[in-house]
Structure 1
Amino acid sequence: MHKLQFTAETSSAGILERDFALGAITGVLWSPAAEHTALVLMGHGGGLHKKAPGLVARARDTVTSSGFTVVAIDAPGHGERPRRAVDDQARTDIREAVMAGDNKRFEEVSIRYSTGLAEQAVPEWQEVLDALQELPEIGPAAPIGYGGGISLGTAIGIPLTAADPRIAAAVFGGGFFAHPALIETARRVTVPVQFLLPWDDEHVDRQSALDLFDAFASTEKTLHANPGDHRTVRWLGLDEKFLARHLGRA
């Protein structure tokens, strides 16, 4: 069992930002200066990292608007984590598929690579949760939600939510393929779900995203569609009180 170590700390606009390491896992924690009540997990997209600008903006907004703590970690082979041969090969294959306009190959590589990442990332997220629940400012009673992930963040977030009963509500996004294994996993997700769909995704077929949404076993689930392609997903139209309603508001 690794011990969580904080490696850097900054504070601005009432938000405390702390980088941490847990064994090989690198992450960041954003916390409000005042008392807070819940912990929100955020996943990044493929090829990005825990401090991608869009993720940081959503994290800081969640801290200031709801008084929650937010945590993000680098997926294997991303951010501060070492790049492996499998990561470099996947990036090369995806880039070549995009340049050739070969969506079939893009889909095959993305599914194979992201499935492997999820198999490693889900237990890593659970190890991070175990460590964070030992912190006095979070504790074992803090409600936990999955607060958003597009593409890779969804490919990891769905199996994580299905596997860990501590997650009480989740926000997912489109931008990933609803392959049979992921559909089967989505059928084990029973917590309230918001699902964001980029309507004009040039890589992921719209019906694929609709099939994934349909597979969630949640009795409370909503679909939010906005114009946008694979890289310009708009976080508009979501129920801004969704997480606060299910996790409690500070």
Structure 2
Amino acid sequence: MKSGKRLVIEAVTAPLVIWAFIWAWFYINPPHDISRDNFNTSWLLITVVSYFITLVIVALFVGRLLKKAGYRFEFRELPRVLNEVDPKIIGDSTRDIFNIVAMWGVFSTAVLAFGVKKGTIFTVAVYLVLSSIGLLLMISMLISVLGTALILYELLTGRRLSHSFEKALLLSLLSGAFLVLVRLMSGYPWAFNITVVRPLLKVCTDNYLCKNLLLLSALNALYGIIGILILPKRRRLGLLLLLIIALAIAPLLVKVFIQLHSL
């Protein structure tokens, strides 16, 4: 089995290699909004510096993860601890590490296309959209597709499977709360002067779409609550309720995608 240190190195290197290939392709065949002149020293400097900043963020993330698992160490001892730690602790979070570095690539590409100021604004806007609407849609898709399959399997076979109800509840509540906040902000003209939240404001000013997104968030949260409170006590009833919610999410999810596409 790979060591924790190797897992971290692979998780931070893989997106770097992927973005390097993408940028090489952009240089060979420049898109309409990126010219070869954009590949200059200032962009390279920003990319390198921001990558090292990202590595620091990853190190802090991994350090916090290990401390939550019970390890006690100084920050400079992190490489040694990673060699000794149970790889499963790191393995469960490699996707998060990958995503952190992937966002660095989004930022660097945005700077390449739009410049530092506009690129930073674009990156923050993308992050806000992904962490609210994108996260909500992802959870809804997992519940409606994977959740339905798992529930049916349990009902038909009687075998108990693992579900992540706590995460579904927490993330749904967070994304829903953020949408409510943006919805409240959309009632004030000054909010539209904040460039980074403008895409979200556009979504939340559509009453029907915003209502459906909040309904999705509520159904996802209800799914998590039933999984936490009812399922352990009354298994079959809990599974049936979860199945009803998962099936109710599917058509609503389709509506939301259609509405988002028509914006």
Q: TM-score, normalised by structure 2?
A: 0.27
Q: Which has the larger radius of gyration?
A: 2
Which structure is higher in RCO with an 8 Å CA cutoff and minimum separation 6? Answer: 2
Q: What's the TM-score, normalizing by structure 1?
A: 0.28
Higher strand share: 1
